[in-house]
Amino acid sequence: MVGIELWRFGLRYEADKDPVFDDLNLCIAPGQWSVIVGASGCGKTSLLRALAGLLDQQAKCDGEIRTDDGLSLSGRVAYMAQQDLLLPWLSVLDNVCVAERFAPVGDSQRDLRQRATQLLQQVGLGKLVNAYPQQLSGGQRQRVALARTLMQDRPLVLMDEPFSALDAVTRHRLQNLAAQLLANKTVVLITHDPQEALRLADRLYVLQGRPAMPVALRLPNTAAPRVLDGELAALQQQILQQLQPEAVDELV
Ligand SMILES: Nc1ncnc2c1ncn2[C@@H]1O[C@H](COP(=O)(O)OP(=O)(O)OP(=O)(O)O)[C@@H](O)[C@H]1O
């Protein structure tokens, strides 16, 4: 388990006048799901890429990203980007195994492939292990990327809209699977979907403004993944209003 603290963190892209973040302080709790929602362009992906050490050269940062054990995050992060980043020349099964291939672990290749096959069955792709990414739908590709992330077994898991391309039933099922398989990991999940955020979060933040600041939201006193009840529906409405006050006012 690893906890992370962003301390006086700032980020500005060279081409932009205003910083995306300035003097941001945020603690990512160890072994919990921290979920971040926010309007498009507010900085969610930038935050995740900063944690993953994947910002491009246009991004200028200051402040610090510290871990609670004082060790580097290098090699301890599984990152599921918005784009699935599947390798077109590898089969579905090989794509799921790809990150582990070079990892110095004791598992044999046979064990790894067995585990990957089981994960692919769990995400509903048991019949497509030998298919290639270009033969898959957007939702199927996203499920391969999810299986690849679950396969990696890293203490910090960063996921950017991991369920966005899925139909409602599959989304619900895979949210439950991810919650089960990533219990006790430190997870940062970005989503546009307030209902998803409320089902899965141990801590929930709305990222707002420019420079963006996180606002912590109240959650029901129940364990995730939560059932969709009246309390969750009311909180969902609150988040929608917080995200887009003008748009919601116009609809009412
Ligand atoms: N590589 C880049 N170079 C310059 N500006 C960038 C770059 N990446 C992001 N930005 C800018 O930084 C801001 C935050 O972008 P980011 O992608 O982090 O937002 P987001 O909240 O994840 O958006 P979305 O929900 O639409 O994915 C935006 O104004 C965006 O235009």
| Dihedral of the alpha carbons of 193, 39, 36, 169, in degrees to the nearest 10 | 10
| Per-residue exposure over 27-44, b if at least 16 CB sit within 10 Å of its own CB, e if not | ebebebbbbbbbbeebbb
pLDDT at 105: 57
Average pLDDT of the chain is: 92
Q: Are residues 109 and 228 in the same domain?
A: no
pLDDT at 110: 86
Reference 53, options 65, 67, 39; nearest CA is 65
On whether residue 184 sits in a domain, the answer given is: yes
Q: Are residues 160 and 246 in the same domain?
A: yes
Q: Are residues 65 and 169 in the same domain?
A: yes
138: containing domain:
86-153
Which atom of ligand 1 is least distant from the CA of 42? 21
On whether residue 81 sits in a domain, the answer given is: no
pLDDT confidence of 102, banded at 50, 70, 90? low
The CA distance from 89 to 74, in Å, is 27
Give me the helices (H) in 152-223, please.
Answer: 168-181, 194-200
The interface predicted TM-score of the complex, written ipTM, equals 0.97
Amino acid at 116: A
Q: Are residues 162 and 173 in the same domain?
A: yes
Q: Are residues 146 and 122 in the same domain?
A: yes
Provide the total of helices (H) and of strands (E) in the chain, helices listed first: 8, 9
- The enclosing domain of 12 has a CATH number of 3.40.50.300
Q: Are residues 164 and 94 in the same domain?
A: no
Q: For the packed helices 138-151 and 168-181, what is the interaxial angle rounded to 10 degrees?
A: 10
Number of domains in the chain: 2
| Top mutation candidate among 17, 44, 60 for ligand 1, by most atoms within 8 Å of CB | 44
Q: Are residues 103 and 13 in the same domain?
A: no
Q: Are residues 144 and 105 in the same domain?
A: yes
- Reported as a single tens digit per residue, the pLDDT across 193-240 is 999 999 999 999 999 999 999 999 999 999 999 999 999 999 999 999
Which atom of ligand 1 is least distant from the CA of 43? 18
Q: Are residues 166 and 244 in the same domain?
A: yes
Decide which of 106, 121, 153 is a domain's last residue: 153
Q: Are residues 105 and 227 in the same domain?
A: no
